[in-house]
Each structure stands twice: as C-alpha cells, then as structure tokens.
C-alpha cells in the first residue's frame, strides 16, 4: 500500500498501529504517500522481451531479403521507444510523493513533483478541515485539506478506496491531536 505512517513517540505497552501514540506535546504523525509502481524489473524485462518477439514475427517473412534491412531500423526504433517510455515513466513515478507532518502546532504538506518544484502548504491543525467528496468532484473520493485560506488535494495518485482509508486515518489523527 502506498500509504506509510510513522508515529513518534509510540505509547509503551500498546501494539504498534496507526494511532498507538503516546500522549505528550511532542507527538507527531508523519505520513508518506507514494504512487503504486505496477511494474518492477521483472515485468519490465518481460514487456521488452514480448515486444521484441512480436516485432520479430513480421521480420521472419522477409528474412534473407534486402527488405529486412529496410524494416529492421524501424523495429529497433519502436523497441527503443517502448524502453525509453517505460524507463521515464518509472523514474517519474519514483520521484512523485507527498509528505505530511502533523503535530499539535502545525500541519505541513510537501508534494514533490517530477520536473517541477516542490509545493508546500502549512496550517494550524485546529482550524484544518478534512473533506472527502464522494461524488461530483474531479475524481471519486476527492480528498482535500482546507486551511490557511487554501484548499489542497491530498493523494491525487491514490485509488478511491485508498483515499477513503486515508480520510478515516487522517481524521482520527487530527481528532487525537486536537
């Protein structure tokens, strides 16, 4: 799951969980959101190998003729284009992330975008409203944080189910720190 909670300090004698937080002024929740990476190294190699096999099939018909040398550069270019697109997509997905730090004094959100500067948002958690719009929004289960005169989207790259779970967990964390 692309939602990772880190809670400090942990309450002694309580099993670790999303909200096993010791009471105190230094309590903090750290939330890291990353997109799902659906294709690992093995999947990447398989995709390139299958594509190379399918690109080689039409070339078998012209094997031993001068036409092969005319078609071979285009097949190679198509295979290189697929490799480049998959590599770039994987690199960008690994740099995309959202980090949220929630303490009694402040809530800070930093979104790291690929090829763009990071976006920062900060507010007082007491006045922050967490809103989940299930229908009629740009996406299903649209999750926003509203405060400090701004509304920011949270978890845009998550699935609707993951955003609903995040809403429940984050609303409990906000309630606990208030």
Contacts 24+ apart (CB under 8 A), 156-161: 157/2, 157/33, 157/35, 157/36, 157/96, 158/2, 158/3, 158/33, 158/35, 159/36
What tokens appear for 166 in the block? 């995040």
Sequence-distant (≥ 6) Cβ neighbours of residue 135 within 8 angstroms: none
pTM: 0.72
How distant, in Å, are the alpha carbons of 41, 65, 89, 164 from that of 76?
Answer: 21, 18, 20, 44
CATH of domain 3-35+96-177: 2.30.29
pLDDT tens-digit profile, the chain (178 residues): 588 888 777 555 555 454 554 455 567 889 999 988 778 889 999 999 999 999 999 999 999 999 999 999 999 999 999 999 999 988 888 889 999 999 888 999 999 998 899 999 999 988 999 999 988 888 899 999 999 889 999 988 889 999 999 999 999 888 887 7
Q: Nearest-CA neighbor of 118 among 92, 100, 96, 94?
A: 96
161 sits in which H/E element: helix 160-177
Q: Where are the domains of the chain?
A: 3-35+96-177, 41-93
């Amino acid at each position: 799951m692309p939602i990772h909670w880190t809670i400090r300090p942990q309450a002694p004698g309580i099993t670790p969980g999303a909200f096993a937080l010791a009471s105190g002024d230094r309590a903090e929740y750290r939330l890291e959101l990353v997109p799902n990476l659906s294709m690992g190294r093995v999947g990447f190699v398989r995709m390139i190998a299958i594509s190379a096999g399918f690109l080689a099939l039409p070339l078998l018909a012209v094997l031993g003729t001068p036409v092969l040398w005319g078609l071979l550069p285009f097949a190679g270019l198509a295979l290189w284009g697929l490799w480049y697109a998959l590599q770039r997509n994987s690199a960008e997905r690994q740099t995309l992330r959202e980090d949220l730090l929630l303490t009694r004094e402040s809530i800070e959100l930093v979104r790291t975008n690929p090829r763009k500067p990071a976006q920062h948002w900060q507010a007082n958690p007491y006045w922050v409203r967490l809103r989940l719009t299930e229908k009629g929004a740009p996406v299903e289960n649209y999750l926003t944080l509203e405060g400090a005169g701004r509304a920011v989207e949270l978890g845009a790259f998550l699935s609707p189910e993951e955003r609903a779970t995040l809403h429940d967990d984050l609303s409990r964390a906000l309630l606990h720190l208030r």
